[in-house]
Structure 1
Amino acid sequence: MSDKAPPLAHSVCVVIPMYNGADSIEQTLASLVGQTRLPDHVIVVDDGSTDDGPQRVKDFAAPFRLTLLQQANEGQASARNHGLRHSEETFVALLDADDQWRPQKLEKQLALYDELSRQGRPVGLIDCYTQVNYSDGRQQVDDRCKNGRHFYDFIHANVVNGVSTALVKRDVIMHFGGFDASLRYSEDRFMWTRIAEYWEIHTVPQVLLDRTVNSGNMTAQPQKYYLNKIRFIEVYLARYGAQLSKQQRIDFVLGNHTDFLNAFSRRGEHAQVIGVYRQMLEYSWQTLIFANGKPTLRYLYARVRSLRKATASTTAT
């Protein structure tokens, strides 16, 4: 007779926000059908789509309970909250409409949760490694491994390997009322930070998600998202600024601006690089030496290119 404890009884609801996801939603749902441990309930929240994605969900033959909810376009945070409110399961697993899980994703995460729970660990979230597939053919693996308390790590970066990796206790995420729907960018990082303040975060050290990054993401359209990032900085500091040291606040603000300064620089948008850098410098002189001086070098390069362009324009006239 085995002395290994039987697996704990769990139920899992997968929440998928979808906006014009007709090209990918069937592959995403098929990745759930292929799970070695099927989800108990899948909720797709149509966030005001104008394509036939909702009909494709209705027509999909699923071996699990599949619910389609619809709302006006209000953003991913609002769509996820809509799905969360209609879930009743023990766990919520988040999945974007253009990502796919590998077959053992749920099985491995639930097994890790059971193991940690038997040890008495206060687990709030479990993620996994991610294979990131860019639309231009590039690939990378996001493999940040967590194994406990990680609140202060979120000052420097979103250390969860993509929102579609997250398996969360429903009562944990609902403790905060769901995602902050006022945020249109980094709403997941804010939620993970709030969870990490009270609970542990752990990782299955295996690639169990294929994530698609296309032309609509921040790297391709930084101007579209930059103001939303500034809003995230404001919300984060309003909630946590008082409990961070001055240096931690500086690192947080400069790090978040640097993400976009780098994106603008890669696209050759020199005026935007200069604008972001000036905002950073207004916040702290440490901008000059932040990240080994790389933002300063990008700023100087942008200044030189802008001056050359202005000189060439003057000469031409």
Structure 2
Amino acid sequence: MTLVSVIIPAYNSSAYIGQTLESVLGQTHSPVEIIVVDDGSNDDTVTKANFYKDQGVLVLSNPKKGACAARNFGYLHSKGEFIQFLDSDDPLAPNKIENQLNQLLSLSNYQKKLVHCRWGRFQKNKDEVYYWGPDAAIRQDLKPIDWLVANQMSMTGCWLLHRSLIETAGLWDESLKRNQDGEFFSRIMLHADEVLFCDTAKVYYRSGNTGSISNTKSRPAMESLLKSLYLIEEYMLQLEVSPRVNLSLANRYQDFAYSNFIANPDLAALAESKTIELGGSELKLPGGAVLCSLATLLGWKNALKIKRLLSRST
């Protein structure tokens, strides 16, 4: 049977790690190798993870080096032909790995393909999913550049991929604090010939976790996010140079400029210069009707300045 390694970085995850591990232990595919890498938790994450040692869960320590370093550390200790990276608070549906693996193994040259799946956003109870992704644009088998141009949200736990793709593309970028998965899987796609979609495989995405990396908006996190966009631009332009690629990239940079104009205007200016260099964006300023009307009349920068003034006065 095909061994799949599931690598789970964990930091202060005691509230969730048990549910996540049980979801992996309950997979309909076997064998599954489960590796938890603790990043220096100061709660009882390690104790709760060690509870499952008798069921074959390997618990390692790689403290205070970050989630990407934990994933790399776990990967280097793994033996599986296929790899599933999973965040410590995101459980899998029981047949997630089996269905994706069967889809891959049914194809020739499966080592050069990676497979994505459905993800359901929930807060406390995974049986109460209030949004199912991904967007329809990537709910199909696609060439890597088509998947990247679509520029739709994904998440780490959605993917299953062959070990050889990681060996070729390289490990996770440990310098990144935001959008690590976006950068990593974009780089993986440089060496893949197809991105598959498995509609019958599901992972549950926990929202509202204030400790989540995706919620980090500090200055270092925003610098890291911008760096990831520079890298993704490099990868996409290696795959295709075209107006549609430029527009997709420009929309990413413009979104960054919108969200950082107030807090990090210098970073927003760098992103805006990239938007202009790439030929401009079609992305409208996100917000309610009043904000959008202000942006139309006065420009998006003035609209955001007015919004800040009004928020200060209330």
TM range (shorter): 0.7 to 0.9
Is the Cα–Cα contact under 8 Å of residues 35 and 106 in structure 1 kept in the other structure? yes
1:132 — aligned with what?
Answer: 121
1:115 — aligned with what?
Answer: 106
**Structure 1 164/308 Cα, relative in aligned 2: closer, same or farther at 3 Å?**
closer
What's the CA shift for 1:69? 0.9
How many residues align? The count is 295
Is the Cα–Cα contact under 8 Å of residues 116 and 197 in structure 2 kept in the other structure? yes
TM-score, normalised relative to structure 1: 0.79
Is the Cα–Cα contact under 8 Å of residues 254 and 275 in structure 2 kept in the other structure? no
**Structure 1 189/220 Cα, relative in aligned 2: closer, same or farther at 3 Å?**
closer
Q: What is the distance in 1 between the residues matched to 2:140 and 2:39?
A: 32
**Structure 1 189/23 Cα, relative in aligned 2: closer, same or farther at 3 Å?**
same
Per-residue CA shift, 1:82-109, capped at 9, x if unaligned? 0110011111111110010111111111
Letter in 1 for 2:186: T
In the alignment, structure 1 residue 226 sits paired with structure 2 residue 222: yes
Letter in 2 for 1:231: K
**Structure 1 242/167 Cα, relative in aligned 2: closer, same or farther at 3 Å?**
closer
Is the Cα–Cα contact under 8 Å of residues 274 and 302 in structure 1 kept in the other structure? no
% same residue: 21
What's the CA shift for 1:146? 3.8
1:197 to 184, 190, 193: 190
In the alignment, structure 1 residue 178 sits paired with structure 2 residue 178: no
Stretch moving more, 84-93 or 186-195: 186-195
1:245 to 241, 247, 253: 241
Letter in 1 for 2:227: R
What's the CA shift for 1:258? 4.0
Q: Which has the larger radius of gyration?
A: 1
Q: What is the distance in 2 between the residues matched to 1:289 and 1:175?
A: 34
Letter in 2 for 1:302: L
In the alignment, structure 1 residue 66 sits paired with structure 2 residue 68: no
Q: What is the distance in 2 between the residues matched to 1:85 and 1:301?
A: 49
Per-residue CA shift, 1:128-179, capped at 9, x if unaligned? 10101247988311133241422353255256x3111211111221223311
Unaligned runs of 5+ in 1: 1-8, 265-269
2:289 — aligned with what?
Answer: none
In the alignment, structure 1 residue 188 sits paired with structure 2 residue 177: no
Letter in 1 for 2:241: S
2:38 to 46, 50, 56: 46
**Structure 1 60/122 Cα, relative in aligned 2: closer, same or farther at 3 Å?**
closer
Is the Cα–Cα contact under 8 Å of residues 118 and 200 in structure 2 kept in the other structure? yes
Q: What is the distance in 2 between the residues matched to 1:279 and 1:212?
A: 32
Q: What is the distance in 1 between the residues matched to 2:142 and 2:77?
A: 30
Unaligned runs of 5+ in 2: 287-291
TM-score, normalised relative to structure 2: 0.80
In the alignment, structure 1 residue 300 sits paired with structure 2 residue 302: yes
In the alignment, structure 1 residue 97 sits paired with structure 2 residue 88: yes
1:4 — aligned with what?
Answer: none
**Structure 1 38/13 Cα, relative in aligned 2: closer, same or farther at 3 Å?**
same
